[in-house]
Amino acid sequence: MITLDGQNLFDEQQCEIEAGSIQRDSVEKTVPGLDGVLSIDLGNHGRKIKQKGLLRAKTSLQMNEKIQAISGYVDGNTHTLKLSNGDLFENLRMDVFKTGKFGPNGVGIVVSYEIIYTQLAV
């Protein structure tokens, strides 16, 4: 079971999590009369985490409600994503939530989605 802030919004079977590496920035400066470059370390700046998968619902109305619930997390606040294997991603800001086209699937509706988070502190 995959949860976002304790809410079970995602189907685990078709979900992929891709965690990027931590980004570290620096400023490079040259000084007249000195050989080389002065490098100022600006520290860690978080990392990108992508989540892709399929959302499932029995009706179009239920799918719209699920999409609206997930869209509510694009609010600038930090959230926690917990995977069924116990992996925990804390301090996530949801930056992008995109969905594909609705399609029929056996007993209901299915739609692909992609979420891009920024993990602000690791």
What's the rounded Cα separation, in Å, for the pair 16 and 19? 10
Q: Read off the pLDDT of residues 53-63 as tens digits, 9 standing for 90 and up.
A: 999 999 999 99
Among 105, 76, 106, smallest CA distance to 93 is for 76
Q: Is the pTM of this model over 0.95?
A: no
Task: Tell whether the model's pLDDT for residue 66 goes beyond 90.
Answer: yes
Contact between residue 57 and residue 107 where contact means Cβ atoms under 8 Å apart? no
For residues 74-95, give the mean pLDDT.
Answer: 93
Residue with tokens 């600006």: 42
Structure confidence at residue 122 (pLDDT): 63
Contact between residue 51 and residue 115 where contact means Cβ atoms under 8 Å apart? yes
Structure confidence at residue 1 (pLDDT): 82
Task: Tell whether the model's pLDDT for residue 65 goes beyond 90.
Answer: yes
Q: Read off the pLDDT of residues 2-55 as tens digits, 9 standing for 90 and up.
A: 899 999 988 777 789 998 888 777 888 888 888 888 888 877 778 999 999 999
Which residue would you say has higher pLDDT here, 97 or 120? 97
In this prediction, residue 101 has a pLDDT band, given cuts at 50, 70 and 90, of confident
Give φ, ψ of 52 to 5 degrees: -130, 150
